[in-house]
Amino acid sequence: MNVMLASGGYPWTVIPVDRRCDYMAALESASVAQDIKPFTLFLAEIVMAHSSTHPHNNITHPPKAK
């Protein structure tokens, strides 16, 4: 996951232990139900929270596709 995030210009991201259940539920939804929206929203929330606590990684929008 982090290699994909980094290759897109996003910071390496650690899933907080207290959010593990949310992460696993979103991952299962993507895997079992083929619904990636919960996983995408979860990751976006975590990445944005990380960038707000690490100003050198400030992300306000996704990088443009090449």
Span 23-51, pLDDT tens digits: 999 999 999 999 999 999 999 999 988 77
Q: Which of 13, 15, 10, 14 is nearest to 26 (CA)?
A: 15
**pLDDT value at residue 36:** 95
- Domain residue extents for the chain: 17-54
Q: Which of 52, 19, 57 is nearest to 38 (CA)?
A: 19
pLDDT at residue 59 greater than cutoff 70 = no
The amino acid at 51: S
The 8-class DSSP code of residue 61 comes to S
More confident position, 56 or 49: 49
pLDDT at residue 13 greater than cutoff 60 = yes
pLDDT at residue 21 greater than cutoff 70 = yes
- Is 0.85 topped by the overall pTM? no
